Amino acid sequence: MTQLDDIDIQLLNLLQRDATLSNKELSLQLNRSVAAIQERRRRLKEQGYISRIVAILDRKKVDRSLMAFSHVLLTSHTAETLGTFEREVSEFDEVLECMQMTGAYDFILRIAIKDMETYNRFLRNRLATLPNISTVQSFFVLSESKSDTAYKL
């Protein structure tokens, strides 16, 4: 994998803010040819610097107003148990992120859902039915002062 140069970093910064920018628009901002920008974009994607390109939706407009962070403790910590939990919870559309953690809990889930009633049904009928769950402790977002998806490069 090649090192990122200043142009690569500038390109990645621009794309993190707006991935819909055309190669022409990027070439004007970076003072490079369209072909050079196109090649850099292709290379950065091939090398895994750009893992995917998505649209970030307003969760309130798509009826996912309630955001929860659920900490999950499992009863067993074998490789099989951990892997099974990760695979099964990854199938839940409500779960946006599943991260294995150090500390008092094994996993933190970021869950986007319609409302508290829907969360309660999700917890009782889906999450709590998974094997080897000991404890689920959930925290609900009251307000959001910063939500960013871009890394400072």
79-137 tens-digit pLDDT: 999 999 999 999 999 999 999 999 999 999 999 999 999 999 999 999 999 999 999 99
Query: Residues 129, 81: one domain?
Result: yes
> In CATH, what number is assigned to the domain containing residue 19?
1.10.10
DSSP letter at 128 equals: G
Whether residue 133 is contained in a domain is answered as yes
Kindly state the tokens that stand for 6: 């200043």
pTM attached to this predicted model: 0.87
Strand-pairing partners, residue 36, are none
Query: Residues 28, 84: one domain?
Result: no
Query: Residues 29, 95: one domain?
Result: no
Cβ atoms 63, 112 nearer than 8 A: no
Whether residue 2 is contained in a domain is answered as no
Question: What pLDDT score does 1 carry?
Answer: 62
Query: Residues 72, 12: one domain?
Result: no
**CA-CA distance, 13 to 150, in Å (whole number)?**
8
Domain of residue 106, residue span: 66-140
Query: Residues 75, 118: one domain?
Result: yes
Residue 111's alpha-carbon distances to 104, 140, 146, 151, in angstroms, are: 20, 9, 17, 22
> In CATH, what number is assigned to the domain containing residue 74?
3.30.70.920
The CA-CA-CA angle for residues 93, 84, 65, to 5°, reads 20
Whether residue 92 is contained in a domain is answered as yes
Whether residue 1 is contained in a domain is answered as no
Query: Residues 80, 25: one domain?
Result: no
Q: How many domains does the chain have?
A: 2
Q: How does pLDDT run across 40-90, given as a tens digit for each residue?
A: 999 999 999 999 999 999 999 999 999 999 999 999 999 999 999 999 999
6-17 vs 23-30: helix axis angle to the nearest 10?
130
